[in-house]
Amino acid sequence: MNKLRRTHVVWSFETSCLTDALIRTIDPNKVDAIRIVSKHGEIDRVREICRRIKREVPMAKEKLPLLVDLYDRVRGMVVGLEGSKEFKFGDIIKVSPEKGQGDLTIRTEEWPDLFAVDHSVYLANGMVVCKTKEVKKDHVVLEVVQGGVLHNDCDVVVPATKKQIRIDTVPEDAWKAASDPDIDYLILPSIEDAADLEKVKKRLEAQPNSPWLLLKVATKGTLKNLEELLPFVHGVVISRVELAMRMDPALVPMVTKEVIQKCNDYAKMSIVASEMLGSMRHNVTPTRAEVSDIANAVFDGADAVVLSEELAYGKFAEKGVALAVKTIEDAESSTTQGLNWVKKHPEITTEIEAVTFAAYRAAYRNQAKGIVCITKAGNTALHLSSYGVQTPIIAVTMSPDVVRRLRLVRGVVGILLDEAPDIEQVFPIINSLMTRKTWLSDGDRYVFVSVSLSSLGKEASNLFTVQQIQ
């Protein structure tokens, strides 16, 4: 086995574009995870797609994690466009919920409360930006302040009128995704109240199959309360495009870096999303800005980047995935550019922090070829990854689900162990496993870590040692 990329690529699909032919192009050796983006009421279709991917795509069940959004209702959508339509700065647009009654037709359940006078309206994730001039019973008048091109079925977003998301408003039908064994990660909407996340955690603890939780960061409220929210989830998905609609867009790059750093402080995953290679829906090459976004995510220490769902609609989807992988490999091979943010002086308050930080430093001082940890639920691997260590982390676990989910954690490769070893047999078994399933070979040093792992003995034990494969 060769060393893996530390930063991973998530290929995003909308349910409407996932044809049989597209499913057959999914290759777990070329992409690290799949995200399914759905519309309201499509959860049964999403679950069926997940089942098909796990059963029909070779090696998907073993190594391809699937991410699904719990619930993220689209408030408005442009409909009835035939082809594309361009709008320029200063254009006046009459918008109506009835076809043929205006320049644009919008489907929404919130008419006319979706709009507010003098507030911004973002069409197609900000491709066209307008100001609301008038709100009438049967139409709304918008003025274009940023021109662009619109396509059918694009979203309509008005941040000023969007209410705070509460977990009690999520339809019961959507929770089917939270108990589906084929779903590895559940992406929660941008919840702002820790009490809501506590309810989700308790709900999932009461069921046999529980996916790992990711919290979307898309509002100022979520950003403000992030420290209170992180203990309830495994990580976050940073929606840069939604943040840019709610704050000065110039602040979003720095906010992204700060969120990644905060996740490292709490040993949580950070995944950067929005508009990654979206231009390749129509073009064979991406923009310079899109390539820079991917490279910057690597340097910022993100666990993964999410490619735009727009990419899957075009002819160059597979080329886009390959380009994202190459961009990451080139960035990670740089000898002059290190991580922008590193947890250099972490606050050590728990046993797992003490043991994993000592292991991280020992790996550097001993020039170890790997850090090997035994983990039941993946927490030890998450803590080791949070230090930004360049040494590859090999997480040995008895859970196939944990092996698959760890594929999205920065710098970690999961290895399945058939049964838990006794403490007396652990090193011979681990040495054999390393030589058979990893790049380690005779004479290589590695740091071994286990934290409060009762499977190594009758009582919980913390173990940290430097070993050499013989």
- pLDDT per residue as tens digits for the range 219-278: 999 999 999 999 999 999 999 999 999 999 999 999 999 999 999 999 999 999 987 888
Report the percentage of the chain scoring pLDDT > 90.
54
What's the pLDDT tens digit per position in 24-52? 889 999 999 999 987 666 889 999 999 99
Q: How confident is the model at residue 454 (pLDDT cuts 50, 70, 90)?
A: very low
CA distance 34 to 54: 11
Confidence band for 450, pLDDT divided at 50, 70 and 90: confident
Q: How far apart are CA 296 and CA 264, in angstroms?
A: 16
Banded model confidence at residue 345, pLDDT cuts 50, 70, 90: low
Question: In 389-401, which positions are buried (b, 16+ CB within 10 angstroms) versus exposed (e)?
Answer: bebbbbbbbbbeb
pLDDT of residue 392: 92
Copy the structure tokens of residue 274: 């929005």
Which is nearest to 281 in space by CA: 305, 317, 306, 307? 317
Q: Does residue 347 have a pLDDT over 80? A: no
Provide the mean pLDDT of the chain. Answer: 88
Residues 6+ apart with CB under 8 A from 9: 31, 32, 33, 304, 305, 307, 321, 324, 325, 328
pTM of the predicted model as reported, rounded to 2 decimal places: 0.90
Q: What DSSP character marks residue 45?
A: H
pLDDT, position 335: 55
* Strand duo 393-397 + 269-276: pairing: unpaired
Q: Can you give the pLDDT at residue 461? A: 59
Please state at what angle helix 288-300 crosses helix 317-332, rounded to 10 degrees: 50
Q: How do residues 297-312 score in pLDDT, each as one tens digit?
A: 999 999 999 998 878 8
- The structure tokens listed for 67 are 């991410």
Burial readout 118-136 (b: 16 or more C-beta within 10 A, e: otherwise): eebbbbbbbbbbbebeebe
Segment 181-191, tens digit of pLDDT: 999 999 999 99
pLDDT in tens, 389-447: 889 999 999 999 999 999 999 999 999 988 777 767 788 888 889 999 998 998 999 99
User: Which DSSP category does 5 fall into?
Assistant: P
Residue range 175-183: mean pLDDT, rounded: 91
Give the model's confidence band at 457: pLDDT under 50 very low, under 70 low, under 90 confident, else very high. Answer: very low
For residue 209 the two structure tokens come to: 């199959």
Q: Is the pLDDT of residue 63 over 50?
A: yes
String of DSSP letters for 411-445: TEEEEE-SSPPPTTTHHHHHHHHHHHHSS--TT-E
DSSP tag of 464: E
